Structure formats: C-alpha cells, structure tokens
Amino acid sequence: MLEKHYRWVIVAAGGLMGCVAIGAMFALPVFIVPMAEATGWSRTGISSAMTIAFLAMAFGSMFWGSLADRIGPRAVVLIGSILLAVSIALVSQCRTLWEFQLVFGLLVGIAVAAIFAPMMAAVTGWFDTHRSLAVSLVSAGMGMAPLTMSPLAAWLVERMDWRASYLWIALIVTVLMIPAAFLIRRPPALEAGAPAAAQSADAVPEMSVSQALWSPQFVILALTNFFCCATHSGPIFHTVSYAIACGIPAITAVTIYSLEGLAGMGGRIGFGLLGDRLGAKHVLVAGLLIQAVGALGYFFASNLASFYAVAVIFGFTYAGIMPLYSVLARENFPLRMMGTIIGGTAMAGSLGMSTGPLLGGWIFDHTGNYGWLYISCFGMGIGAFLIAMLFRPFRKRTEVLAPQTVP
C-alpha cells in the first residue's frame, strides 16, 4: 500500500526536476539580448549554443538512460542535478563566446539529458495502471518551465546583469533539484529479490539489449519520434518571427507562443487520460496526424485570431503525444532496460528538435518567408504518422505460452 502511494511522490519529484532543468536551459532566449549588449557577442553565436545543447542532449540521453539501468535512477538524476548547477554557475563566468558555447552547449545539454530518460523510465516502472497519466504528469511538470522559469529569468535580468541572474538560477537548481533527487527510487520490480516475472510483466523477458535496439519496434519508435519532433521544432522556434512578419506587433506575437505552451499543459493531461482508456498507440497515431495538420495550419494563418486558433490545436497536440513514446516503450520492452530504450528514443527526438531552428532559418534566408517551413513540417508530420502506423507490439508472454487448441 505504501508503494502504491509513493509512486505519486516519484511523479511529483520528476515533474519538479523536469520543470527546473528544462527551465534553466530554455531561459537562454530571455538572456540573448542582455548578453549580446553586454558582451558584444552576436545573437547568432549565442543562439547556436542551444543547437549544441540539443545535440548534447541527444547523445547524452542513451548514455544516462543505460547508466540508470545499471546503478539506478536516483544516482543518475543526482549527478545530473549537481552537474547542471555547476554548469549554470560556470556559464555566468564565461568571458568569450566559445567558452559560453562549450559550457552551455555541452555541459548544460548533457546535464539536462540526465533527467529526462531516467525519470521517464523510473515512472513507467512504478505504474501498472494509470501509466499514461503518470508519465503525462511528469511531462506536464517539464511543460511548466516556460510559464515559471522563463518569467523568473526575465524578472531577474531586469534587476541585475545576466551573470548574476545565472548565478541565481544555479542556486535555484541546487536548492530544488538536489533534494528532490533523493526522493527517486528504483521501481519495486527492480529491487533486489523481486521475481523475474515482475521485472518484465508486459514484455519479452529473454530479450537482450542488443536485440531490443535492433528490433523493428524500437527502430519504428525512434524514427517516429525523430520526425515527430522535427515536425514541431520549426513552428516552436519560428512562429513568433513569422507572426511579426505578418504584421503582428512583437509583444503580441509572443503571446502566441505562451498560448501554445498553455494549451500543451492541457494536452499532456488529456492525451494521458486517453492513452489509459484507448491505448497509447491509437492515441499517438491520431495525435501525429492532428499535429501534421496543425503545423500546416500556420501556413494559412494571417491574423492574430487565426494564429491563436492554430496555437491551441497545435500546442495541445504536440505536447500531448510526447509522453506516449515512453508508455509504448514500457509496454513492449523489459523494465530492466527501460532507461536505455527511452534514452534511445529521446536521442532520436532531440536530433529531430535540432533540425527546426536550422531549417527555418535556411528557408527564410533563401525565400524571404517561412511558408515552406510549415509545408515541410506538414510533410514530416505525415511521415511520422505513416511510420507510427507500422508499429506492431511484441507478442506478450501470455500469448506466446498460451496452449494451442486443436479443433
């Protein structure tokens, strides 16, 4: 009974840590102008640190996930929390642009990667019921970052320089994330002495890690996640600029992004409930199709009302479907390798996210507008939808061992 209640403590701790970690990383856009004015660094150079961070997250995700399978999620998220606090503090001391790109891009990116995959793996292992909702709540915590940490960063930089602001963020990471890391525990099925059947209740028990990573199920999940994230990364990064190009004032255009994020909070909960009721795969496939249409919807938006309408649909959908990848992983692969599997799909997703800023910038530089960005995102979204349709769950052990009846 205690374990049944404690699993929600894991969810709360994961949501808090995700919010602070993602918020510390995504506070960078708030600092771009003050940093450029204070240092003389180019905005392009400062912004490129975010692309480097995405790539670092991609390649760090599988490493941290695999390490969590070996030593447990608590140790990994604790290491990640300490590294993030130290990295953010070092950011405040950078004196050259290349130092900033190295520290923020590599160290912060690697540190944030230590939170996502291990936490998602831990949460999926704690829940046999309400699994989609639990994972979605952790994701909702991460989604709170633009509504909490970003405004806090803006408040700080209005009252002090960017270096002091980053030191305060490092202190917040230390005070909130490190204590929360001690609340994380291995799923009961992976504790010493747990029966082997409990450790792989939903999946093929004899599967090796190598077999899992080369299986069609993993490859399809990874490819779907890549194209899914490539679909929404461009609109996330460039829609405010696109709205400004359409004649919407800058301060008003920012509210489109805020509304998109707010809708995403509802999407995470809504898709989590639907995933528990209808099945994660069915909800994911439907969501991918809606996401593709939503990306194309921005192509036809021209005034504030139409931007708001598309932002609600697009934000609700893309945020809602993301936690379902972890649920599908848990339903199809052994719990003992869950960090590796979720880390691998997160790696693919981070690589997909890194394409949006570059693609949008290249299209605008060559065409003078963002129209082809949204058409391209629609195409990638349809690709993700079609790939997801190919996913076929592993036959469960009960099906494999079921006696054959002879007519």
The pLDDT tens digits of the residues spanning 335-381 come to 888 889 988 998 999 899 888 877 887 888 788 888 999 999 999 99
| 198: in domain | no
CB-CB contact of 123 with 110 (8 Å)? no
Alpha-carbon span 301 to 28, nearest angstrom: 28
- Please tell me whether residues 293 and 376 are part of one structural domain: yes
| 223: in domain | yes
Among 186, 215, 241, the domain-final residue is 186
- Please tell me whether residues 175 and 212 are part of one structural domain: no
Band the pLDDT of 3: cuts 50, 70, 90.
Answer: low
- Please tell me whether residues 171 and 213 are part of one structural domain: no
- Structure token pair of residue 270: 């809504």
Residue 285, C-beta contacts closer than 8 angstroms, at least 6 positions apart: 385, 388, 389
| 201: in domain | no
- Please tell me whether residues 241 and 344 are part of one structural domain: yes
| 284: in domain | yes
Quick one: 249 exposed, middle or buried, by C-beta within 10 A (0-12, 13-18, 19+)? exposed
pTM of the model: 0.79
Name which of 261, 379, 246 is nearest 305 in CA terms: 246
Name which of 216, 189, 228, 225 is nearest 334 in CA terms: 189
- Please tell me whether residues 234 and 349 are part of one structural domain: yes
Q: Give the relative orientation of helices 371-389 and 338-367 as an angle to the nearest 10 degrees.
A: 150
CB-CB contact of 297 with 307 (8 Å)? no
| 7: in domain | yes
| 276: in domain | yes
- Please tell me whether residues 178 and 309 are part of one structural domain: no
- Please tell me whether residues 29 and 95 are part of one structural domain: yes
- Please tell me whether residues 154 and 220 are part of one structural domain: no
What's the CATH code of the domain at 92? Answer: 1.20.1250.20
- Please tell me whether residues 115 and 219 are part of one structural domain: no
- Please tell me whether residues 309 and 214 are part of one structural domain: yes
Residue 369 DSSP code: S
- Please tell me whether residues 302 and 242 are part of one structural domain: yes
**For residue 316, what is the enclosing H or E element?**
helix 304-321
Q: Please give the residue range of the domain that contains residue 132.
A: 1-186
What average pLDDT does range 172-194 have in this prediction?
Answer: 84
Average pLDDT, the chain: 86
Alpha-carbon span 246 to 67, nearest angstrom: 47
| 396: in domain | no
Rounded to the nearest angstrom, the gap between the alpha carbon of residue 307 and the centroid of all alpha carbons in its chain is 24
Residue 20, C-beta contacts closer than 8 angstroms, at least 6 positions apart: 145, 149, 172, 173, 176, 177
Q: Give residue-wise pLDDT tens across range 279-326.
A: 889 999 999 999 999 999 999 998 999 999 999 999 999 989 988 998
Name which of 331, 345, 396 is nearest 132 in CA terms: 331
- Structural domains of the chain, count: 2
- Please tell me whether residues 177 and 236 are part of one structural domain: no
